[in-house]
Amino acid sequence: MNHRPLGGAGLGFRRELIDELRNGVPDGIDFFELAPENWAGMGGRSARDLRYFTERHPFVCHGLSLSLGGPAPLDEALLRQIRAFMSEHGIGLYTEHLSWCADDSHLYELLPIPLSEDAVRWTAGRIRQAQDILGCRIGIENASYYVAPPGAEMSEAEFISAIVREADCLLHLDVNNIYVNSRNFGFDPVAFLHALPLERTCYIHVAGHYVEADGLLVDTHGAEVIDPVWSLLAETYRRIGSDIPTCLERDFNIPGLPQLAAEVGQIARLQKQMRDAERQVA
């Protein structure tokens, strides 16, 4: 299957939404995202449902368990399975978190990588290995975290930039993760954004989060996107343009399709505003 053109505003593909989506994908939803671990190798109705949509709409693969920064050997069997899955469904983009989540077994948590030169070399080497197996460049996502690893030799933005450069990979930019981390650790999210290698951006996430009673922000993907995160997304578009495909993440407390489509529509409106502004300047 040939890759379908990817762009615009997208939504996470959830089994809970399939019946509604079969009745018609709302205007403004240009593509879908899925976690290949949750779909590759599935048979029966799940396989038929997925095939129905991948034959009609562009999709992105966003991984959950590759553990790019982890100590255990890279899961080459999983990567080969993902490559076959992407080929089968005509999917051209794969992204993963810049984190680690497994050692002898999966920990079911995305953990931060130490900000060190050794970690840059280790993680970049694993990303290059993953790219060789997949046969394409991948996007790495800036992750949320709640405990800063000790012994930092560089800033997080410098760490991300060094890995992107050494691995020759792409950047998957999550603006909600920037905002969550900025509130939890007290830094300027716009300055952080501008310090990233934004010219390598291939994909963007936007999502909601939860505020604990003590003020800690938790990246839950279980609430509506708030205004400061929309503002950070708009700043991203001002910096790099609005052509980057941008996906709304919603992983639980999932509302009906009309409400989700309205949030995806906000992405589309910001993209249109940027295009209009660019035309006026030209």
Main-chain dihedrals φ then ψ at residue 268, nearest 5 degrees: -60, -35
Q: Which residue has the tokens 């920990």?
A: 107
Taking the C-alpha atoms of residue 260 and residue 57, their distance in angstroms, rounded to an integer, is 17
| Tally of CB atoms within 10 A around 76 | 11
Over the stretch 153-187, which tens digit does the pLDDT of each residue have? Answer: 999 999 999 999 999 999 999 999 999 999 999 99
Alpha-helical regions (H) of 55-155: 76-89, 117-134
Taking the C-alpha atoms of residue 122 and residue 125, their distance in angstroms, rounded to an integer, is 5
* Chain-centre distance for alpha carbon 86: 16
Reported as a pLDDT band with limits 50, 70 and 90, residue 59 is very high
Predicted pLDDT at 65: 85
Whole-number average pLDDT of the chain: 92
Reported as a pLDDT band with limits 50, 70 and 90, residue 103 is low
Mean pLDDT value across residues 245-263: 95
Q: Which residue has the tokens 């509604």?
A: 20
| Tally of CB atoms within 10 A around 73 | 9
Return the minimum-mean-pLDDT range out of 28-32, 107-111, 120-124. Answer: 107-111
Over the stretch 202-228, which tens digit does the pLDDT of each residue have? Answer: 999 999 999 999 999 999 989 999 999
Reported as a pLDDT band with limits 50, 70 and 90, residue 18 is very high
pLDDT > 70? residue 266: yes
pLDDT > 80? residue 143: yes
| Tally of CB atoms within 10 A around 220 | 19
Fill in the DSSP letter of residue 225: P
Of 41-55, 136-150, 192-206, 208-222, where does the model show the most confidence? 192-206
Taking the C-alpha atoms of residue 93 and residue 58, their distance in angstroms, rounded to an integer, is 10
Q: Which residue has the tokens 């000790």?
A: 150
> To which H or E segment does residue 202 belong?
strand 201-207
> To which H or E segment does residue 190 belong?
helix 189-195
Domains of the chain: 9-281 (3.20.20.150)
